[in-house]
Amino acid sequence: MPKVDLICLDLDGTLMNGLTVSRANHEALEEAQRAGIRVAIVTGRPYVFARELMRSKGLTVTVMAANGAHSVDMETGERLILRRMAPDAARRLIRYAGEHDILIHVFTSKGFAASAEDGAILQYRNVNRGLPPQERMEVVVADHRTILENYGDDALKVTLMEDDPEKLARLQRELAGDDAQGERSWHNMLEFMGRGMCKGWAVRELARKLSIPMDRVMAAGDHENDLTMIEAAGVSVAMGNAIDSVKAAARHTTLTCLEDGVAYAIRRWAL
């Protein structure tokens, strides 16, 4: 009998190495599903990106995109969660970024908008190329004013890009408010979502919908935006490459993502 009923996995730095899922991690996920364990991908990435990654491996999972704000059951197509930011909060952040010439990514229910061409835009355009029009995500590059006007009311998440760690920490403190909170997902990425919206909330909501107690949930991640789901899960796993705060919060630490740490964790603490 498996030790858990639901496995919730971050993508970048956790399940995914680069832009792919290793054979070992893929096989471990298949083993878990054959054992009757539900699998959810809990990622800051857009829904279509994560969905197509899973499709490419022949996996049918729950995709919890934009840190869970856009969650869909791939098997049934049912939208389980759609939680937008308050429009005033999203607009405030987009306007601030424009005034201070900060690159932004805005995640919406339809896709992704950025204020400049970058690697993410290229990745998401490549995903779209292999899809029929009705299955593609919206991928837009526009100035801050256009993003504000067209996507301010549909924002699930607003990410600010800043290479200076001290400035990023200051933005995290100063731009948070009653309507929004910021978490770092990478060394130069600061993700703002509606107050209370986070991976931990989304995982709890999914477990509630599935009638699975949290002590039967495994969560694995590596960065600050994974902390809330690490703290929520009964079986919490930090990647070997995780930041110190995630390792301190987790019950277990597995191998790094380069060493197929997800496969090791599933076989040791889930099956």
Residue 147 has pLDDT above 90, yes or no: yes
Same domain, 234 and 181: no
177: containing domain = 87-194
E strand or H helix at 240? none
Q: What is the arithmetic mean of pLDDT over 117-126?
A: 95
Quick one: average pLDDT of 137-151?
Answer: 98
Report residue 260's pLDDT band, with 50, 70 and 90 as the boundaries: very high
Same domain, 17 and 143: no
Of the candidates 113, 119, 180, 121, the residue with the CA atom closest to the CA atom of residue 147: 113
Give the residue from 145, 164, 194 where a domain finishes.
194
The pLDDT value given to residue 235: 98
CA 55 and chain centroid, separation: 17
Q: Of 194, 218, 240, at which residue does a domain stop?
A: 194
- Whether pLDDT at 212 is above 90: yes
State the pairing for strand pair 79-82/111-114: unpaired
Residues 134 and 189 in one domain: yes
pLDDT at position 133, please? Answer: 96
Instruction: Name residues whose C-beta falls within 8 Å of residue 20's C-beta, 6 or more positions apart in sequence.
Output: 53
Residues above pLDDT 90, as percent of the chain: 95
Instruction: Give a yes or no: residue 1 inside a domain.
Output: no
Overall number of domains in the chain: 2
Average pLDDT (122-131) is: 95
Check whether residue 113 and residue 184 sit in a common domain: yes
* pLDDT band at residue 95 using 50, 70 and 90 as cut-offs: very high
Determine, yes or no, domain membership for 41.
yes
Q: How far apart are CA 228 and CA 248, in angstroms?
A: 13
Q: Which of 144, 167, 194 is the last residue of a domain?
A: 194
Residues 100 and 76 in one domain: no
pLDDT band for position 184 (cuts 50, 70, 90)? confident
Helices 87-99, 165-175: crossing angle, 10 deg rounding: 140
Percent of the chain with pLDDT over 70: 100
Rounded to two decimals, the pTM is: 0.95
| CB 119, CB 40: distance < 8 Å | no
Q: How far apart are CA 119 and CA 107, in angstroms?
A: 15
Residues 190 and 91 in one domain: yes
pLDDT digits (tens, 9 = 90+) for 215-259: 999 999 999 999 999 999 999 999 999 999 999 999 999 999 999
Task: Tell me what pLDDT residue 89 has.
Answer: 97
Worst-scoring range by mean pLDDT, 142-151, 182-191, 216-225? 182-191
Domain contains 110: yes
Predicted local distance difference test score (pLDDT) of residue 19: 87
Please report, for the domain that includes residue 121, its CATH number: 3.30.1240.10
What pLDDT was estimated at residue 18?
83
Q: Do both 123 and 144 map to the same domain? A: yes
**What single string gives the DSSP state of each residue in 23-67?**
HHHHHHHHHHHHTT-EEEEE-SS-HHHHHHHHHHTT---EEEEGG
Q: Please indicate, yes or no, if residue 51 is contained in any of the structural domains.
A: yes
In angstroms, what CA-CA distances link 77 with 60, 140, 167, 248?
A: 11, 25, 41, 36
Residues 74, 91, single domain; the answer is no
> Where residue 15 sits, what CATH number does that domain have?
3.40.50.1000
Between CA 23 and CA 194 the distance in angstroms is: 36
Per-residue pLDDT tens for 13-60?
999 988 899 999 999 999 999 999 999 999 999 999 999 999 999 999
- Whether 172 and 220 map to the same domain: the answer is no
**Domain identity same for 202 and 189:** no
Q: Are 156 and 244 within one domain?
A: no
Domain check: are 167 and 104 in the same one? Answer: yes
> Which of 103-130 are b and which e, b meaning 16 or more Cβ less than 10 Å from the residue's Cβ?
bbbbbbbbbbbbbeeeebbebbeebbee
Each residue of 156-175: pLDDT tens digit? 999 999 999 999 999 999 99
